């Protein structure tokens, strides 16, 4: 049973993955809004893609889920950032995940959270950037393939009913 709670994770802790940390709270949602101003660089986009994979694992095959990202445009690499998002949209469309995004142009955005249309708000103090650096370009490193074998950064997460 899902419940409101606050969890704290320690530096270099292992065993954490989006599937168990976020998946149960996203399951059954028809619309998910992700607010994170720091989806700019490759590793940040990869974290987002891994979250989209978690959403894909949680949804029934016949279900459609809309995932909307609100982030900040990268001042120097916006074309690359948009290319990442376009690739995510193309990749997720055939499995029933409709991915869209908007750029917050106020330049004041800081908070990071996920809101679902079925009553949950998940506050992420670090956003999706919870993992220590790992070898993401080597297919044969297990931490590249499975999040639970990665070391975490210290972070906190709060689940609230809305």
Which tens digits make up the pLDDT trace of 109-123?
889 999 999 999 999
Q: Looking at the DSSP assignment, which residues form a beta bridge with residue 66?
A: 31, 98
Exposure string for 43-56, b = 16+ CB within 10 A, e = fewer: ebbebbbebbbbbb
Using a cut of 0.85, tell me whether the model's pTM lies above it: yes
Which tens digits make up the pLDDT trace of 4-48?
999 999 999 999 999 999 999 999 999 999 999 999 989 999 999
Which tens digits make up the pLDDT trace of 44-62?
999 999 999 999 999 999 9
Question: For the purposes of burial, counting CB atoms within 10 Å of the CB of 81, is it exposed (0-12), middle (13-18) or buried (19 or more)?
Answer: buried
User: Are 114 and 121 within 8 A, CB to CB?
Assistant: yes
Would you give the DSSP letter of residue 119?
S
Residue 105 has pLDDT above 80, yes or no: yes
């Amino acid at each position: 049973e899902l419940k409101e709670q606050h969890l704290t994770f320690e530096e270099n802790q292992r065993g954490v993955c989006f599937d168990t940390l976020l998946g149960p709270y996203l399951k059954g949602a028809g619309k998910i809004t992700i607010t994170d101003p720091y989806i700019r660089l490759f590793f940040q986009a990869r974290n987002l893609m891994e979250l989209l994979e978690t959403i894909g694992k949680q949804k029934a095959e016949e279900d459609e889920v809309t995932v909307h990202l609100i982030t900040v445009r990268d001042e120097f690499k916006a074309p690359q950032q948009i290319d990442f998002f376009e690739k995510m949209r193309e990749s997720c469309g055939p499995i029933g995940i409709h991915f869209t995004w908007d750029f917050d142009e106020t330049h004041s955005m800081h908070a990071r959270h996920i809101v679902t249309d079925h009553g949950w708000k998940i506050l992420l103090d670090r956003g999706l950037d919870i993992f220590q650096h790992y070898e993401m370009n080597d297919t044969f490193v297990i931490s590249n393939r499975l999040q639970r074998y990665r070391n975490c950064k210290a972070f906190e997460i709060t689940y609230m009913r809305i």
